[in-house]
Chains A and B, each alone.
Chain A
Amino acid sequence: GAVVSQHPSWVICKSGTSVKIECRSLDFQATTMFWYRQFPKQSLMLMATSNEGSKATYEQGVEKDKFLINHASLTLSTLTVTSAHPEDSSFYICSARVGGSGANSPLHFGNGTRLTVT
């Protein structure tokens, strides 16, 4: 069964509004979660690493003030797309490593959130 739960699975919003996406680890604690974005027919792009109890680490070119990440508990990380614009329309996927942070711990993905900004 799923070990990472993501909600909502899809969302349509108007330009200028904000959207919050939730990512939960099921039956395990995740001190670190990862947020990816994927545009059509392109590869996964890591946006940021979410750390429980501390600030997220953003990849180069990702605006931290636009993509707000909060990792308030060991089982929940949220990504808020603020002032969304049509170019933010994409497939957002969260993930977490099951079994700790060791090299052999696999990454499991949530089902993803398809965001469409009109």
Chain B
Amino acid sequence: QKEVEQNSGPLSVPEGAIASLNCTYSDRVSQSFFWYRQYSGKSPELIMSIYSNGDKEDGRFTAQLNKASQYVSLLIRDSQPSDSATYLCAAVPGGQNFVFGPGTRLSVLP
């Protein structure tokens, strides 16, 4: 069974700190990985995608992928209260349907 696991949280960090969100996946054939942010009552919005091992940076966000360990992470630098949301990790096994994790709830404390 294809699974994506995330710590449900809540993860609380002070404003200005680095928030680290982690995700593991079970299907080794997964090729693509995506991070989505979902505010309460809203639909998910795409933050970042990553396909190759290593780091990918976009503004305050850095995605990290380690296919050998089947591990994906998202770092948020200089966390802001507006970053408080649920972060969903998604893997795409073999280019087919997205498999979403349960999400990690992040709370950035002012």
Question: Nearest CB to that of A108 among chain B residues?
Answer: B46
Min CB distance A13 to B, Å, is 19
Is A49's beta carbon under 8 Å from chain B? yes
On whether the beta carbons of B101 and A34 are closer than 8 Å, the reply is no
For chain A, give the interface size range: 20 to 34
CA distance A65 to B87 in the complex (A): 33
Residues of B within 8 A of A112 (CB): 42-43
B11-52 contact mask (Cβ, 8 Å, vs A): 1 or 0: 000000000000000000001101000000111111001010
Residues of A within 8 A of B42 (CB): 111-112
On whether the beta carbons of A106 and B46 are closer than 8 Å, the reply is yes
Give 3 closest A-B pairs by Cβ, nearest first.
A103-B95, A112-B43, A109-B43
Min CB distance A49 to B, Å, is 7
Report the count of interface residues on B (CB-CB < 8 A).
22
CA distance A108 to B90 in the complex (A): 12
Residues of A within 8 A of B43 (CB): 6, 91, 93, 109-112
On whether the beta carbons of B51 and A104 are closer than 8 Å, the reply is yes
Interface centre among B43, B44, B88, B92 (most CB of A within 10 A): B43
CA distance A108 to B46 in the complex (A): 7
CA distance A112 to B45 in the complex (A): 11
Residues of B within 8 A of A104 (CB): 31-32, 49, 51
A88-118 contact mask (Cβ, 8 Å, vs B): 1 or 0: 0001010000000111101111111010000
B60-83 contact mask (Cβ, 8 Å, vs A): 1 or 0: 000000000000000000000000
Q: Find B31's partner among A34, A42, A49, A103 (CB 8 Å cutoff).
A: A103
On whether the beta carbons of A43 and B88 are closer than 8 Å, the reply is yes
Is A68's beta carbon under 8 Å from chain B? no
Residues of A within 8 A of B49 (CB): 104, 106
Since A106-B49, A108-B46, A110-B43 are in contact, a sample of 7 more A-B pairs with Cβ atoms closer than 8 Å, ordered by chain A residue number, is A34-B97, A43-B100, A44-B100, A103-B92, A109-B43, A109-B44, A109-B45
